[in-house]
Amino acid sequence: MKLSELGEDAVVSRLTRSLRLDGRVVVRPGDDCAVVETAGSLQLLKTDCIIEGIHFLSDANPRLIGWKAMCRPISDVAAMGGTPRDALVTLAVRPDVEFAWLKRVYSGLEAAARVYGVNLVGGETAKSPGPLFISVALTGSIAGGKYVGRSGGQKGDWLYVTGKLGGSINGRHLRFRPRLAEALWLVAQFPIHAMMDLSDGLASDLPRLAAASKLGFEVDSSSLPLHHGVSIGNGLRDGEDYELLFAVPSSVKTRLEAEWRAKFPKLRLTAIGRLVEKGRTQFTEKGYDHFGR
Amino acid sequence: MKLSELGEDAVVSRLTRSLRLDGRVVVRPGDDCAVVETAGSLQLLKTDCIIEGIHFLSDANPRLIGWKAMCRPISDVAAMGGTPRDALVTLAVRPDVEFAWLKRVYSGLEAAARVYGVNLVGGETAKSPGPLFISVALTGSIAGGKYVGRSGGQKGDWLYVTGKLGGSINGRHLRFRPRLAEALWLVAQFPIHAMMDLSDGLASDLPRLAAASKLGFEVDSSSLPLHHGVSIGNGLRDGEDYELLFAVPSSVKTRLEAEWRAKFPKLRLTAIGRLVEKGRTQFTEKGYDHFGR
């Protein structure tokens, strides 16, 4: 069977389900990051890649290509409640590329590393026979062992998203800001049961969080926070929002909303629905799947 | 200027020399691995990638493609005197690839992980518009803070290589065994001043070790341990040997050679020459450069 027939989630799940891991591995493949015990502390590990023609076009601003490559794994570390630490970059690039262009890509990587306190400690450069390929590996630390995965959601939890959804293809997908400060604050202040970043669109990502928590969900589509001019369908499916999706017990709803407004007055926080018993799901639309049509 | 005119070393050096790193970074970009202080211990970080059409051909045994992708960074961690710990894999692959074929690639990754005690903790799968691309990010630990870089070589040190050189293109480049046990034993038993793995060929790699140590070298080319049927030129230039190159003080030469023979009777260890004052170099042949011709 071809990968495109299976779909990305099934491919990853089938590739990784038989892995033998030792007792240091706390969170197995399938969450935003792996969680591993290292030297007595929990460490987050994440890799991500962006590829010319898939995640950016050849004529994109090279600085923004670098920015995006670094910010994607930072967003994943943030979504686990972690602090990003050290990054390694692997570049595969055609030999006829101008050094000055590649230097601008690197300056975008460096800019994002600086803004989010990441050490860019090295990496590899290899010859690509075709498209530019940038892979970033990132480590993260966890304060007090309090990481947040996708699987801790409980029935009745409220579901929230930060910011607005949809339309990122018009440029936002290259310029987004990982919600690092917001995630760290949430995890420090509230009992966040489950959290992830929205990379493939709410219609794909929310079912993943619900499935990991062995629950269903009910979302009022008309309540979704949408960017200007974006339809509900696009808000659900476009992907590359890089906003936070999280679940909290209903007991903290009032305090969360009040304290959020005081702490992050410029960034919207929207209650979009709740986690419910397994089997019930609100969405019928299907989000973007890397291997689907 | 195009990357092919600059050459790989210059590209990497120019990209990384301005990086701002915090005090946790012990070894900066340019060595086999980065060394970072994490939770009070030293941690090795490495990424590497292999690409269809560059590092393997489309009709290569998929299991060996996976084996090679995992073993390359293991070889780098070994060459720093480290123990490999946790790996993340990023696969970019065409959607029309058969799942069964990709599963065989993964089984090669898993086999290498198992043999060398690595946890394969996760990774990403993305759509490639063309060639298969496999990037592996690997962490490593260091016993007692004793890592070995390239820069510690001293004038008069003897230079050794393990195994034999040359001709890896005939299949060995897909099946090689990282010298992990050998490297750990060397670092535990002897004052290894500098070490690296031979990935681009002795003619490219030895000048890097010597330059990092601010020294020159003298090598008797006729003493090089060569695979059957390999010329001296090919032994110097072919690359992908993944053998260890290291420098030790002459005071331990006799003991090293005797104890090596007892410990690793099946693997050759050859004194190929010495580190000397800066400026003197034996080689005139130029090794493989990823961006050169």
Q: Do A125 and A47 belong to one domain?
A: yes
Cβ pairs bridging A and B (under 8 Å):
260
Q: Which of A145, A179, A213 is where one domain is finished? A: A145
On the question of pLDDT at B286 being above 60, the answer is: no
The two three-digit tokens of residue B84, written as one number: 């490999």
Express as a percent the part of chain B with pLDDT over 70: 96
The answer to whether the Cβ–Cβ distance between B47 and A110 falls below 8 Å is no
Q: Do B267 and B182 belong to one domain?
A: yes
State phi, psi for B277 to the nearest 5 degrees. -65, 155
Distance from CA of A212 to the nearest CA of B (A): 16
Q: Do A34 and A118 belong to one domain?
A: yes
- The residues with which B270 forms a beta bridge, in sequence order, are B161
pLDDT value of position A10: 87
> Which one of A36, A85, A89, A121 makes the best mutation probe of the B interface by having the most chain B beta carbons within 10 Å?
A121
The answer to whether the Cβ–Cβ distance between A120 and B24 falls below 8 Å is no
Q: Do B127 and B31 belong to one domain?
A: yes
B220-247: string of b/e by CB count within 10 Å (b at 16+)? ebeebbbbeebeeebbbbbbbbbbbbbb
Q: Which of B145, B173, B196 is where one domain is finished? A: B145
The alpha-carbon radius of gyration of chain A (Å, integer) is 19
Question: Can you tell me the ipTM of this complex?
Answer: 0.89
Q: Is residue B150 part of a domain?
A: no
Q: Do B118 and B245 belong to one domain?
A: no
Q: Do A255 and A200 belong to one domain?
A: yes
Residue type present at position B163: G
On the question of pLDDT at A29 being above 70, the answer is: yes
- What is the span of the domain harbouring residue A244? 158-276
Contact of A94 with A132, CB cutoff 8 Å? yes
Express as a percent the part of chain B with pLDDT over 90: 76
Contacts 24+ apart (CB under 8 A), A183-187: A183/A78, A183/A79, A183/A81, A183/A244, A184/A78, A184/A81, A184/A83, A184/A143, A185/A263, A185/A264, A186/A81, A186/A244, A186/A246, A187/A81, A187/A146, A187/A148
Residues of A in contact with B25 (CB under 8 A): 86, 119, 121
**pLDDT, tens only, A252-272:** 999 999 999 999 999 999 999
Instruction: Report the alpha-carbon distance of residue A240 to residue A238 in Å, rounded.
Output: 7
Neighbours of A143 (CB within 10 A): 13
Contact of B180 with B84, CB cutoff 8 Å? yes
**pLDDT, tens only, A180-204:** 999 999 999 999 999 999 999 999 9
Contact of B92 with A133, CB cutoff 8 Å? yes
**pLDDT, tens only, B139-155:** 999 988 889 999 999 99
Q: Do B163 and B106 belong to one domain?
A: no
Q: Do B18 and B116 belong to one domain?
A: yes
Strands (E) in chain A, as ranges, are: 25-27, 34-38, 41-51, 83-93, 119-127, 133-141, 158-162, 194-197, 216-219, 244-248, 269-276
CATH number for A116? 3.30.1330.10
Q: Do B167 and B128 belong to one domain?
A: no
Q: Is residue B97 part of a domain?
A: yes
Q: Is residue B284 part of a domain?
A: no
Arithmetic mean of pLDDT over chain A:
91
Instruction: Report the alpha-carbon distance of residue B180 to residue B164 in Å, rounded.
Output: 16
pLDDT value of position B285: 45
On the question of pLDDT at B290 being above 50, the answer is: no
On the question of pLDDT at A291 being above 60, the answer is: no
**pLDDT, tens only, A215-260:** 999 998 888 999 999 999 999 999 999 999 999 999 999 999 999 9
Q: Is residue B293 part of a domain?
A: no
pLDDT value of position A223: 87
Q: Do B210 and B247 belong to one domain?
A: yes
pLDDT value of position A283: 63
**Tokens 């070994």 — which residue?**
B78
Q: Is residue B223 part of a domain?
A: yes
Q: Is residue B281 part of a domain?
A: no
> Which one of A8, A134, A135 makes the best mutation probe of the B interface by having the most chain B beta carbons within 10 Å?
A135
- The residues with which A90 forms a beta bridge, in sequence order, are A124, A135
Q: Is residue B179 part of a domain?
A: yes
Q: Is residue B249 part of a domain?
A: yes
pLDDT value of position B283: 63
pTM above 0.90, yes or no: yes
Give the H or E element holding residue B47.
strand B41-51
The answer to whether the Cβ–Cβ distance between A15 and B106 falls below 8 Å is yes
The answer to whether the Cβ–Cβ distance between A90 and B47 falls below 8 Å is yes
Instruction: Report the alpha-carbon distance of residue B216 to residue A70 in Å, rounded.
Output: 38
**pLDDT, tens only, A44-60:** 999 999 999 989 999 99
pLDDT value of position B228: 95
Residues of B in contact with A4 (CB under 8 A): 95-96
Average pLDDT of the residues in B48-62: 93
pLDDT value of position A39: 81
CATH number for A195? 3.90.650.10
The answer to whether the Cβ–Cβ distance between A51 and B128 falls below 8 Å is yes
Q: Do B106 and B167 belong to one domain?
A: no
Count of structural domains, chain B: 2
Q: Do B196 and B137 belong to one domain?
A: no
